[in-house]
Structure 1
Amino acid sequence: MPRSLPSFLPSFRLAVCSAAVLFAWNVQAQEKQATAEPPAQSDAGPVQKVEVKGSGYDPRRDDTASKMVVTSEEIQKYGDTNVTDVLKRLPGITVSGAAGRSGGEIRMRGLGSGYTQILLNGERAPAGFSLDTLAPELIERIEILHAASAEYSTQSIAGTINVVLKKAVKTAQREVKLGVQRSKDSFSPTVNLQLSDRDGKFSYSLSGSLYRFDYHYDNPAQELAYAPDGRQVLQRRSMGTGDGRPEGINLAPRLNWVLAGGDTVTAQFFVNVGRGEHRSANRIETELGARPAYDIEAIQSSNHNAIGRGDVTWVHKLAGGAKLELKLGASTGRNTSDSRQRGTVEGAGLALDRLINVKSTENGVNSIGKYSTPLVPGHALSMGWDTGYTKREESRLQRETALPLAGAPVNSDEGFDAAIRRLALYGQDDWEITPRWSMYGGVRWEGIETRSEGNSYDSVRQRTSVWSPLLQTLWKLPDTKGDQVRLALTRTYKAQPTSSLIPRRNTSTNNSQTDPDREGNPNLRPELALGLDMSYEHYWAEGALLSARASARRIDGYTRQGLLLINERWVSTPVNDGRANTQTLELEAKFPLRAVLAAPVPAIDLRASLSRNWSQVERVPGPNNRLDQQTPFSGNLGIDYKTPDGVLTTGGSFNFRNGGPVRVTELQSSYTSPRRDLDLYALWKFNPKIQLRLAASNLLAQDFQSDSIYSDASGTIRRNSISPSTPQGRATLEMKF
């Protein structure tokens, strides 16, 4: 069960004391080792181990902890303009929402909403940052961790996706990419730049991207209601439209120094600056029953945001192969949004004219430390800490115009500030028991203290902490060259975001059971999960893999969205509601054609994956009482071909994700339609410095449908929405100089 977290100052002192203890322990260990063995022998062992492991080393195959690494070449293969399009093709990962539209939620095991942990360079991304704004050209690799690791946060019930930005390279590199994407209802030009070089013991890299996205969409919907006897009492049809233009810039500079004695200092920064405009309109026609409060809704909004993060890392090499890593970082974020909401009654005139201005700032500092040593033969011991402090301030100003058709104007001037203090301590050991059997064991303690105060609600303070013991093992089966089995036992959790804890209400325009107001719950507790993962992997040729993975999670303190009627308005608020269970089965195959055919064959690579997910929420009656609208089934199929001269590389992928009905609560349910994506790409290399990449995505142009249903003793109300989609084409010219 969660325990109280000490205040931030003792936490920071504890981190500093931990560093001192680790350093003292290392010094003592070195003195004992120097007495027992000659220095030359002490240094030779660790160096030899690194050389042997680095020869043909594959992290997915050889790491004890289950990990999949996606390289920069694979990330850029289809010329995608955002990371979510890259992730949807990876085994076991799905992206929610309609094809061809940004803002989809990234899910492992079909679970999102905080169950899947998204990291940027091993740390949580700043508040307000979206992976949709990150160009794939800025990414060095993507790490997929199926089971939790003590070194990273264990807020990863479904798993962890770590996006690692590009670093300095050994040779000079200058590359620019000019791209354009076009569809029936969108247009997006992009510019990407990559610079890197070195001068002696100093090296640097600079990755940057400029983007703009012009879009238009149609969003038809209908609302139906039925009396308890099945008689239809309401039918409304609406035609929603929207258009806008987000644009911005990403910069990711990195500086490296190699100091005397082999120490390194690295300074890395990330800057994201953007702005956007959005306009939407919705006309509602009532064919049966009562008209809504407003027949015409119109929203016009604009926003400006800037996010910056920087850190400095010092890596100090110690005798005996030990190493100490210290990182100090800071982040800042600013966001301003203005919106105007208008509601019109057909035939009568304007009945709502509301202006809303929201300003928020978030600043934070953090410290990370890690000590690792091969002190005991066959063991890779490490331990460390991760502590930080974040301060968030937000103000919301609302003004309504006095109108004859409206009631008294509802004006407000709300403000709040929140502070988050966190501390994590961990220890782990990677133990090579035999050349064919290794084991990973770790434990992590994480504590979070959240305090929030505002002029529209009472002070909120919450302290929680979680112990996470972790165990993983890898066994390479005897008398085989490429068969191995993995097992992992984990304890993970899902912390509640600050927005879910603040009891401040965000109102909807046409309030209803299917479009309620939203309000946080200060009494929310973390969700705790026990996990079991098992997998079998078969490697039979270079680049050839067959694998099967099964997993299960038992989640206590499951959080769902409750729906309440308060003062004649429907309000949605999160609540803890008992236990949930989830199970997953994943199958994956990838291999070159030459691995299955003896005769000379073209350079064709094949890949396929299937994922089946089940879940049950105990306090929600079935059927279809799935967890977090979990994706039940998804699959990927892909093929790549390269000509013998290497001038042309081409291929395609088909991605399927089904939806279906979900029972959210006893009174609420929802439905989403299946999603099918067909993408093709081709890469022409004109010479070593110039190449052209063409891609076509969403070729099936399948519309996306979603339903929201509420049913009680007074009847049933249902809202159905359709998101049309169109194919997209992209062209990118890549030049090195």
Structure 2
Amino acid sequence: MNTTAAPRLSRLNAALLLTTPFLLVPAVPAMAQTIDAVVKPAAEKQPQPADVAPMQKVEIKGAAAAYDPRRDDTASKIVVSTEEIQKYGDTAITDVFKRLPGITVGGNGRGNGEIRMRGLGSGYTQILLNGERAPAGFSIDTLSPDVIERIEIVRAASAEFSTQSIAGTINIVLKKAVKTAQREVKLSAAKSADQNSPSASLQMSDKAGAMSYSLGANFWRGTYDREAPIAETRTAPDGMPTMDRRTRQQDSGRWEGLNLAPRVNWNLADGDTLTSQTFVNYNRNRYHGYADTDTSLGAPPPFEERDMRQSNWNLFAREDVNLVTKLGEGAKLDAKVGISGNRAEGTWHELDYRGGALARDAVVLSETTEKGLSTQGKYSRPFLEEHALSMGWDAGYTVRDDSRVERDADLPGAINDDSDEGYEATVKRLALYAQDEWNITPRWSMYAGLRWEGLETTSDGDSFDEVSQVNSVWSPLAQTLYKLPDSRDQVRLALTRTYKAPPTGNLVPRRFTSTNNSQTEPDRRGNPDLKPELASGIDAAYEHYWGENALLSAAASMRRISGYTRQGLFLENGRWVATPVNDGNAVTRSLELEAKFPLAAVMTNAPGVDVRASVSRNWSSVDSVPGPDNRLDQQTPLSATFGADYKSPDGKLTTGASFAFKNGGPVRIDVNQTGYQAVRRDLDVYALWKFNPQYQLRVAVSNLLGQDALSDTAYTDENGTLRRASQYPGYAQGRATLEMRF
């Protein structure tokens, strides 16, 4: 459910209760258990006509601000506030996610990490920006936390969002709240042994009559210089080594970027509102890498030295216009229209040497443009008492144009591989849904939804014929919340039907070649016959609220997936090629435990310390891949977080620490391929000094344990085992941010 549905339902219920005195009395105990507030004096008893029973005098605890979506919404959802997002002064949103319960960040610890729920990424976890999917060229890593109002973590699917969410949905909502005459400037600098990254941000908002506006702006830049060593070995079936290569690689570069997020609101007549929300993201990267390979056993690679340079930039812009209008008989229409554009250009220049002589001089020019038009809407109106019924649509049209030109210099003995490859793809999508939330009793509520999604993808390229694919999915959804009598405990249950659609790039049969082609460095190509993965799921949770801001919860889930997609690998014309294929079924299960509470809830005269902890255990298996360790999508089997925050009595000092643990181990990718996921331990600390209401200083240290980043893959067949491993040094990073308000 979205964040507006529950408050609207609560207001409707309150109106019914207040206008019907005999309904108010049994509702008060439930209301008192679900909201925290100050007791207000009851109104003085008013004279009543003789033939009318006097209205009972009732003390109501409550306030609109006491609404807690995690506790009160029928659909399970965790909302992460702005304060939590900005606590450590992070400049990358992925650093925020690694500290959240049930969330892990993939990758090698050097940025561009994949955000995962239940240990699953690669499209199993749906990432939304203001309720919509970001374009393929947009990296979530470039989104500054300063422009984010909140993060919604939705474990079980609801009809209002796309059901491309087998593992769950993370909705990142940009700042919307407008405060009168707010001005805030932040200046930040971060430093570690291998990189340096200053940044700055500006937040402004004000009101003028019926209009209000806000502006968020962020700028960042950075440089890095780091090692990236690689070891390649091959062993015969009897275990004897037949090849040993060591590559010394040094990577350096710089990056810079800008976020702009202006928003304008107009309050129209009759309570209607019109909103314009703009988001612009620009980033540019320059890279230089040099690799030198020594072969102590076996044949050397085709190229022993590689000198690589890359320059690219990406610009993404989106404009949404949102109208909320009240119709007759209590009905309301919330409609939005958006346009978006994305453009990226890149240059890759590679010099490859053999025996000390230049053997290959290749330049690759790439250019991508994407334009999109979308519309969403929701119509709701009172239907029956205690029901919140709504229906809506979600439609979009996207055109993507991608070109890649490669030019090889004419060198003695070199084989030129000049190519001009490009393709154009169009994606049409339409979704229709209806949903109802029903308060059966004051303690028992039910959510039911039905969503239909249709997707048509058509692509046409220079090296392949036109490919078209049409898919549609029906998703019935049901969730229920029951608050146990005479306690603060509650239970949840959800039944879902979700899916994972193949991204456009995986459908396009265009080939991307690797320099030193092998089983562990194959060429890559899309598969136009790829089908969506379908999943039936069940979620259950028990939540115990045992004090103010104190929670213990246990959640379990299972998904049965058909049409599982794995990365196939085969030999074609002497070159290894990887392509995605549908191959059988998979099952994934998860168990999540979470606790958070103030220390005062367990100790008398305790200091102002808040404690939080979580543990997530995930299991999965893929039918087509023999075990053991045949985990789905290289799933993270175990993750845990622990954190504590302290606030001084005068409120001037806030400090805390967070520890995130992510287990790994061997992974069976398919019959021949295996990998290894390294254990990751991240310890972060922060301190915030409030000098006065205008100035405060935030200091943080991340990766305090200096964890290295590891990568390890292997391919085994009748000829033996080829293994490729790397270990990237990791360093602690210090960061200081001066925050000024005017």
Question: Is TM > 0.5 for Structure 1 vs Structure 2?
Answer: yes
- CA-to-aligned-CA distance 1:250-288 (integer Å, 9 cap, x gap): 000000001010000000000011211011111110000
1:125 aligns with 2:130: no
Match of 1:372 in 2: 380
2:536 counterpart of 1:530: yes
Kept in 1, the 8 Å contact 2:455–2:471? The answer is yes
Q: Secondary structure at the match of 1:594?
A: helix
Q: CA deviation at 1:53?
A: 7.9
Deviation at 1:468, TM superposition (A): 0.3
Contact map agreement 1:168 1:204 (CA 8 A) in 2: no
Moved more, 122-131 or 140-149: 122-131
* Contact 1:168–1:254 under 8 Å retained in 2: no
Q: Which residue of 2 aligns with 1:499?
A: 505
Q: Aligned partners of 2:705, 2:72: CA distance in 1, in Å?
A: 39
Give SS of 1:628's match. Answer: helix
Give the drift of 1:221.
Answer: 1.4
1:68 paired with 2:82, answer no
- Conserved? CA contact 1:98–1:725, under 8 Å: no
Q: Distance in 2 between matches of 1:619 and 1:340?
A: 40
SS at match of 1:472: strand
Q: CA deviation at 1:214?
A: 0.9
Write out aligned runs for 1:138-153 (5 A): 138-153=147-162
Structure 2 CA distance for aligned equivalents of residues 683 and 53 of structure 1: 30
Distance 1:77 1:667 in 2: 45
The alignment partner of 2:440 has SS state of strand
TM-score (norm. length: structure 1): 0.92
1:424-444: CA deviations, max 9, x gaps?
000000100000000000010
1:37 aligned partner = none
Structure 2 distance, partners of 1:384, 1:528, is 23
Please list, as runs of the form range in 1=range in 2, the aligned pairs for 1:367-446 lying within 5 A after superposition: 367-407=375-415, 409-446=416-453
Alpha-carbon shift at residue 171 of structure 1 (Å): 2.0
Aligned equivalents of 1:494, 1:415: Cα separation in 2: 26
Supply the distance in 2 between the matched residues of 1:74 and 1:719 (Cα, whole angstroms).
39
Cα distance per residue 1:263-315 (max 9 Å; x no partner) = 00000000011211011111110000011000012210101211100010110
2:344 alignment partner, one of 305, 330, 335: 335
Query: What is the TM-score when the length of structure 2 is the normalising length?
Result: 0.91
Letter in 2 for 1:353: D
Q: Determine if contact 1:587/1:610 at 8 Å carries over to the other structure.
A: yes
Provide the secondary structure at the position in 2 that maps to 1:277.
strand
Going from structure 1 to structure 2, the CA distance change for 1:455 and 1:55 (only over 3 Å counts) comes to closer
Q: Does 1:56 align with 2:63?
A: no
Question: Counterpart of 1:261 in 2: which secondary structure?
Answer: helix
Q: Does the 8 Å CA contact 1:350/1:405 hold for their aligned counterparts?
A: no
Q: Map of 1:290-305 to 2, 5 A cutoff?
A: 290-305=299-314
Q: Is the 8 A contact 2:108 2:711 kept in 1?
A: no
> Which residue number in structure 2 is paired with residue 636 of structure 1?
641
Alignment correspondent of 1:550? 556
Q: Which deviations, in whole Å up to 9, do the C-alpha atoms of 1:395-441 show, x marking residues without a partner?
A: 1111001111322x111111210000000000000100000000000
Cα deviations by residue, 1:334-370 (Å, 9 ceiling, x for unpaired): 11000112211133x0111110001111001011111
SS of residue paired to 1:687:
coil
The answer to whether 1:718 aligns with 2:719 is no
Task: Tell me whether 1:602 sits opposite 2:607 in the alignment.
Answer: yes
Q: How does 1:81-92 map to 2 (within 5 A)?
A: 81-92=91-102
Q: 1:662 aligns with which of 645, 659, 667?
A: 667
User: After the TM superposition, which of the residue ranges 48-57 and 251-260 deviates more from structure 2?
Assistant: 48-57
Q: Which residues of 2 match residues 208-287 of structure 1 at below 5 A?
A: 208-287=217-296
Report the CA distance between 1:542 and its aligned residue.
1.0
Secondary structure at 2:108's aligned position in 1? coil
Q: 2:87 aligns with which of 74, 77, 89?
A: 77
Match of 2:324 in 1: 315
Q: 1:474-493: CA deviations, max 9, x gaps?
A: 0001111x100000000000
1:55 positional shift: 5.4
Structure 1 residue 231: Cα displacement: 1.3
**1:674-702 CA deviation, whole Å, 9 max, x = no partner?**
00001000000000010000000101011
Distance in 2 (alpha carbons) for counterparts of 1:373 and 1:462: 37
Once the two structures are TM-superposed, the CA of residue 54 in structure 1 deviates from its matched residue by 2.8
The partner residue of 1:575 within 581, 606, 610 is 581
Name the SS for the 2:285 alignment partner.
strand
* Residue 319 of structure 1: how far off its partner (Å): 3.3
Partner of 1:12: none
Shift of 1:97: 2.4
The number of residues matched between the two structures is 691
Q: Is the 8 A contact 1:98 1:675 kept in 2?
A: no
Q: Distance in 2 between matches of 1:517 and 1:55?
A: 55
d(CA) in 1 for partners of 2:691, 2:331: 47
- Pairs within 5 Å for 1:690-729: 690-729=695-734
Secondary structure at 2:270's aligned position in 1? helix
Q: Which runs of 4+ in 1 moved over 4 A?
A: 48-53
1:22 — aligned with what? Answer: none
Structure 1 residue 318: deviation in Å? 2.1
| Pairing partner for 1:112 from 97, 121, 132 | 121
Which digits, 9 at most, give the CA deviation of each residue in 1:98-138, with x for residues without a partner?
Answer: 33x21111100000000000000111112311121111111
Deviation at 1:705, TM superposition (A): 1.8
C-alpha contact (below 8 Å) 1:616/1:625 kept by paired residues: yes
Cα distance per residue 1:185-215 (max 9 Å; x no partner): 1011101000000112100000010011211
- Look up the match of 1:33: none
Letter in 2 for 1:620: V
RMSD (CA atoms): 1.8
Tell me how far apart the structure 2 counterparts of residues 644 and 569 of structure 1 sit (CA, whole Å): 67
| Other structure's SS at 1:278 match | strand
- Which secondary structure state, in structure 2, belongs to the residue aligned with residue 213 of structure 1? strand
Structure 1 residue aligned with 2:183: 174
Could you tell me which residue of structure 1 aligns to residue 596 of structure 2? 590
SS of structure 2 residue aligned to 1:434: coil
Which amino acid in 1 is paired with 2:426? A
| 1:651-684 CA distance string (max 9 Å, x none) | 0011100111000001110002100001000000
Q: How far has the Cα of 1:712 moved from its partner?
A: 0.6
Equivalent position to 1:735, from 719, 736, 740: 740
2:598 partner letter: P
Equivalent position amino acid for 2:412 in 1: P
1:455 aligns with 2:465: no
2:189–2:199 CA contact under 8 A, matched in 1:
yes
Partner residue of 1:622 out of 608, 616, 627:
627
- C-alpha contact 1:674 1:704 (8 A) present in aligned 2: no
In the alignment, structure 1 residue 93 sits paired with structure 2 residue 98:
no
Maintained 8 Å contact 2:431/2:453 = yes
Matched, 1:683 2:691: no
Partner of 2:15: none
The Cα shift of 1:634 comes to 0.3
Which among 482, 500, 525 is matched to residue 519 of structure 1?
525
SS of the counterpart of 1:181?
strand
> Against the structure 1 CA distance between its residues 151 and 53, is the aligned structure 2 distance closer, same or farther, given a 3 Å change threshold?
farther
Name the CA distance, whole Å, in 1 between partners of 2:198 and 2:65.
Answer: 42
